[in-house]
Each structure stands twice: as structure tokens, then as C-alpha cells.
Amino acid sequence: MRYGIVGTGALGGFYGGMLANSGADVHFLFRSDYEKVLKNGLRVDSVSGDFIVSPTDINAYRSTIEMPKCDVVLVCLKTVSNCHLKSLLPPLLGSDTTVIMVQNGLGMESDLARDFPGLSIAGGMAFICSTKVADGHINHADFGELTIGSHTVKDPEVLEKVGIDLKNAGVPAKLVDDLNSFRWRKLVWNIPYNGMTVIMDAGTDELMGEPHMRQLINELMLEVIAAGNTCGTHIEEDFAAKMMDYTDSMRPYKPSMKVDFDAGRAMEIGYIYSNPIRFAAENGFSMKLTSVMERQLKFLSTKYLLR
Amino acid sequence: MRYGIVGTGALGGFYGGMLANSGADVHFLFRSDYEKVLKNGLRVDSVSGDFIVSPTDINAYRSTIEMPKCDVVLVCLKTVSNCHLKSLLPPLLGSDTTVIMVQNGLGMESDLARDFPGLSIAGGMAFICSTKVADGHINHADFGELTIGSHTVKDPEVLEKVGIDLKNAGVPAKLVDDLNSFRWRKLVWNIPYNGMTVIMDAGTDELMGEPHMRQLINELMLEVIAAGNTCGTHIEEDFAAKMMDYTDSMRPYKPSMKVDFDAGRAMEIGYIYSNPIRFAAENGFSMKLTSVMERQLKFLSTKYLLR
């Protein structure tokens, strides 16, 4: 299996790096990191063992036009760059290529299917603490599970092979039948914390330490669960309590949206907030609390990021 | 009529100052301003004419214990200090005293009535741009109307006399029958702007200039109108559009809550947010959007003000 990694950042660098380090045939698309990686390789400092994919071993590219067709493409871009996929992906696509969208939020697979009718598409959700600390240098601090589910994958064996390759590479991979449910489940955490840490300029621990905010977060979780369940999921209500407990047990954490905002980068408002709100509305459910956050985030985006 | 002013800040200093300047018998409670006022008098720079209530003319006190009983007491404290009224007010209260709560929000009259059963109580709403710029020095930049309505006033002539005294002093005064309605009407503006300028760290003009935030503000106004109407008011829906137009026409403005927050002072969350939410809930209406703001403000209060 030949793998293409589109977006070699915190996620693509880690998962692609692990695959390459295990001997898989991996081809990386780099942008600003390209020169540095040609010189020093791709460095991954990981809780499960540091390694470097050396300059002689790495298949590094600056453009997808130079890349070979791949059996599996992991799209590890931030969703704010998905508008570029229409031009980025075609060189990588053979007749049997499967594209896995390793991203947060909802609706990216159907957006991609609209641009590439008939394409074999899956979704991936990373449960990981990983950061790009410098060009060509990834720090993997905790966790690492990658959950993958089909959106329009025709050959069920493809994802099984991907799962095996990932496991051989030391990545805990999990294949799921119901991608939609897993995307909504992840939103139960992402919707309250990603945006609220930005809006309140606070860490997860600070939010959880103030009783009124804690209650609001719990209500947001219940709203996401109710919204998901009107969109075909079957998430039990006590999943909110589990996520609260889980967050209490975490070390203070800066969600990806807060990291992006603090660095002056675009926030993934569309796929994490607007799409869930829209899908729920189409099914007759109004995500009122979430809508407040969405508008506040759009305001902050206009005020601080788009100037 | 003898007037007592409890809380000689931006409001008490202006309204009390105007009354005193017109020759009315006014007695002022000062705190930090006391020494300065004894020396320099109470200075009011006003768009309708500057004046000073001179040290020889002013009746200034440091404690209500030293003050005479009054016919009318204007309580111009921030509502966060209302917990002190139980001890502050008694020296001022004769058998026929009327207390007018010149404050923003909802429910302060009934709270006072609980502590002083049988007391003649009214509410006042100031529509004014006035600031205390230094000890004993008020700047009145725009507007000035004071709307007054009875809560438990037994003698209807009292408020009429107050209205006449205010008009003689150059204050546009308006007496209304339905205090509850007017308090809710004022909340239609205060709930979106007071809190959102704090949460977003932005002026009213910035909020109004971003289309998603604009829409959220409009929805908040409609929610307050709907809540008020379940609590016995009859506010027409297009009042929201009027308030939007009105705000568009205003100069960029920092609402009182934003001024307080930026100065590190307590915010009036209880009377402007928690009480309306509670009253609406008691009448079967859930102010979901407003509740998000309330919790965000309580979080910010804990994080920045109560440490």
C-alpha cells in the first residue's frame, strides 16, 4: 500500500512518520518544512519513542503534482484549507484510491464527495496530543488513537489493511461502522472546549473550575448529544457526564482551536460549529447554546484574524 | 421635599447635583469623594451647562447615620452594593419616605420590599451618558432622561412632585405606570450590549459591524422581548429593530458593565442577567441565549475580579 500524506503537521507528521518509520511506503506533502526536512529529515519526539525519518529515507514533496498516485491518502490539513483539496488531490488519485479525512468536525467527507463524485472516502478522528514544534519537528505528548470509518469506501478490505499497517507502525487504530456517530461523539467534547477556551481565553482546567461555566459546558454537551441524536446517532445522555469526568482527569489542555487562535491562524469554525448547527437545523433541532458560541467565534475571527 | 442621594457617582452626582443646583434641599452620601467635595464642592460638567455645588452649599455626609430623614431617597448605587441597603437606609426613612431605585436590571424593588416591608418604593431608569471622572467630579456627556415608576408607592402625588422638582432642575423626567415593562424594555438593550462588550472586549460599534454578531444581538433582543412578554409586559417585536437602529446611530459606546469590568469593579450580573432569567423561567420561558452570556460573565468575574 502506498500512502500519501497531505498536510504534514501535528497529525500528518505523526501518523505518516510512524508509518514511514515502520517501513511503509509513505509520500509526504510539505510546505514551509520542505527545505528543513530535506536537510534533517522528519523528527518525531514521541512518548512511545523518538525517531527520525532520515533525509535519505523520506519521500518529501513540495507539490502534489510531483507525487505518485497513492492507494490511500491521509488528508491531515486543517479544515480551513479544505477549499484547496479540489486542486491538491487529483495527482494522487488512481482508480482505487481511498481518501481518509483525518480532521475534526462534521461534513468534510460529503463536501469532498461533491467535488469528487464516486471517490472512495473515509473519515478519521485522531485522539492525540501532538504538536508541530518547529519545521519538520513533531512532538507527540500523549495518546494517539486513530478512529477510521467509511463514508463511501467501496472495498471494505482497504480500511482493514490501513488498520493493520497502522497497528504494525505502533498506532492504535480502530475501525468503526458508524462514522457519523463517532464524529458527533467527538463534537460532544470539541464544541464546548475548543470554542470556549478561545472566547474566555482560558484553559480547560480553568473552565472546569468555575461552577457556572462547568454547568454551561455540561448543557452544551447535552445539546450536542440531542442534536446528534436527531441526526441519526444514538449517543446516550450519560456520555456528557463521562466527558466531564474525562476532562477533569486531564492535564490542563489547550484545544487545537485555542492553539490556532493564539498563533493568529484561522479557526475551524465551519466544520466544528456551523455544519453541526446546520445539520441539526435540517433535522428540526435548534442548537441555541452552540449558536451563541459560533457567532462569538466568528466575531473574534473577524476582529483578530482576518484583518 | 427633602432629597437624600445614596451613592453619589455618575448618576447620583448628576441628578442630585442638578436638584441641588436648582435650589432643592438635597443631602448627599459620599464615600471616597467626601474630603474632596468638602474642599472643592461637587463639580458637574454637563452638555446642558457646567456648574459646581459649592462647599458652603452642599450637604455632604460620610455616613447615613449623620443624615436627616428624607422625603425621597434616590438610591444610585450599583446593584452589586444593594446588600448594604439594609444597614444604609434606616436613618433616612421617615414614616412617609419614598425610596427610588435608580438602577439597571430587574427585581431590586422587590428585594428592597422584602427587607423593608411596607416601604414606599419606586424604580428609576436613567437614560444618560454620565461618568464620574474624578472624586467629586461628574461629566455628563449626553441625554439625561430619568424614567420613574411606582413599585409600592402609596401616595401617587409623591412621584408627581419628584417629576416637577426634576423638571425644574432641568432634568427630563418621565413618570410611567408600568415599571416592570420599562425595566424589561431597558433590558432589551442592556442584556446584549452590557455583557457582550465585556465578553468580546469590543465596543458597541465593533459588535454591530460584524454580521454574525449583529444577528446574535438581534436574537438576544427578541429573546428578552419574548421573556418580558411572558412576565406580563407587552413589548412589540419591532422594538428590537428600533434598538438596533438606535445603536447604529449612537457614537461608539462603552456600556456601564464594560466600564466596570475594565476598571476591575464588580459587574451587575445578578440584576441584569440572573434575575430576568429566573423570572422568565418562573413563567415557563427559557432564556437560553442570555443564559450563555450569564455564565460567561460569571466565569470572567471569577477569573478577573474576585481574585
pLDDT at B68: 98
Neighbours of A59 (CB within 10 A): 19
A293 touches chain B (CB under 8 A): yes
Phi, psi of B141 (to 5 degrees): -95, -30
Burial code (b: 16+ CB inside 10 Å, e: under 16) for A124-156 equals bbbebbbbbeebbbbbbeeebebbbbbbbbeee
A273: amino acid identity, one letter: Y
**Kind and range of the H or E element at A171?**
none
Cell numbers 452638555 correspond to: B47
Mutation target for A interface from B217, B293, B295: give the one with most A CBs within 10 A.
Answer: B295
The ipTM (two decimal places) reads 0.88
Per-residue pLDDT reduced to its tens digit, B172-203: 999 999 999 999 999 999 999 999 999 999 99
Contacts of B124 (CB under 8 A, 6+ apart): B74, B100, B101, B102, B103, B146, B147, B148
* For testing contact with chain A, the best of B191, B206, B214, B216 (most A CBs within 10 A): B216
- From chain A, the residues in CB contact with B215 under 8 A are 295
Mean pLDDT (whole number) for A241-270: 93
CA distances from B11 to B24, B103, B261, B269 (A): 17, 9, 18, 19
Give the orientation angle of helix B10-21 with respect to helix B156-168, to 10 degrees. Answer: 80
Question: Is B296 in contact with A200 (Cβ distance < 8 A)?
Answer: yes
- Assess contact for A221 and A240: CB atoms under 8 A: yes
Other Cβ atoms closer than 10 A to B139: 19
Is residue B25's pLDDT more than 60?
yes
Cell numbers representing residue B253 in the block: 459606546
Mean pLDDT of B150-158: 95
For residue B212, give the nearest of A199, A216, A295 by CB distance.
Answer: A295
Answer yes or no: B186 catalytic: yes
CB contact under 8 A, A212 and B291: no
pLDDT at B138: 97
Contact B293 A292 (CB under 8 A): yes
pLDDT average, residue stretch B44-48: 96
- The pLDDT value recorded for residue B17 is 98
Check B212 against A288: CB less than 8 A apart: no
B294 contacts on A by Cβ (under 8 Å): 212
What mean pLDDT, rounded, does chain A reach?
A: 96
The reported pLDDT for the residue numbered A306 is: 76
Residue B299, min C-alpha distance to chain A (Å): 6
Q: Which of A293, A301, A303 to mutate to probe the B interface, most B CBs <10 Å?
A: A303
Helices (H), A179-210: 179-199, 204-208
Query: pLDDT, tens digit, for every residue of A55-90?
Result: 999 999 999 999 999 999 999 999 999 999 999 999
**Cβ neighbours of B15 (radius 10 Å):** 30
User: What residue ranges define each of the domains in chain B, with the CATH number in brackets?
Assistant: 2-177 (3.40.50.720), 181-305 (1.10.1040.10)
Q: Give the C-alpha separation, B125 to B144, whole Å.
A: 10
Query: What is the residue type of A159?
Result: L
Tell me the mean pLDDT in the region B133-159: 95
Positive or negative: CA dihedral A39, A44, A50, A54:
negative
B307 pLDDT more than 80: no
Q: Between B200, B215, B293, which is nearest A300 by CB?
A: B200
Please compute the mean of the pLDDT values over residues A97-101 and round it to a whole number.
Answer: 98
Percent of chain B with pLDDT over 70: 100
Tell me: pLDDT of B64 over 80: yes
Q: Is residue A213 predicted with pLDDT exceeding 70?
A: yes
Which of B202, B216, B299 has the CB atom closest to A200's CB atom?
Answer: B299
H-run or E-run covering A56? none
| Residue B6, C-alpha cell as written in the block | 445614596
H/E segment holding residue B107: none
Grid cell for residue B143: 441625554
Mean pLDDT over A239-248 rounds to 96
Please determine, for residue A307, whether its predicted confidence score (pLDDT) is greater than 60: no
pLDDT tens column, A129-166: 898 999 999 999 988 999 999 999 999 899 999 999 99
Write down the pTM of the prediction.
0.92
User: What number of C-beta contacts closer than 8 Å exist between A and B?
Assistant: 64
Report strand pairing: B51-53 vs A137-150.
unpaired
β-pairing verdict for B93-102 and A42-46: unpaired
The candidate with the shortest Cα–Cα distance to B203, out of B161, B257, B241, is B257
Residue B217's alpha-carbon distances to A135, A216, A247, B188, B243, in angstroms, are: 42, 20, 31, 10, 10
pLDDT at A270 over 80: yes
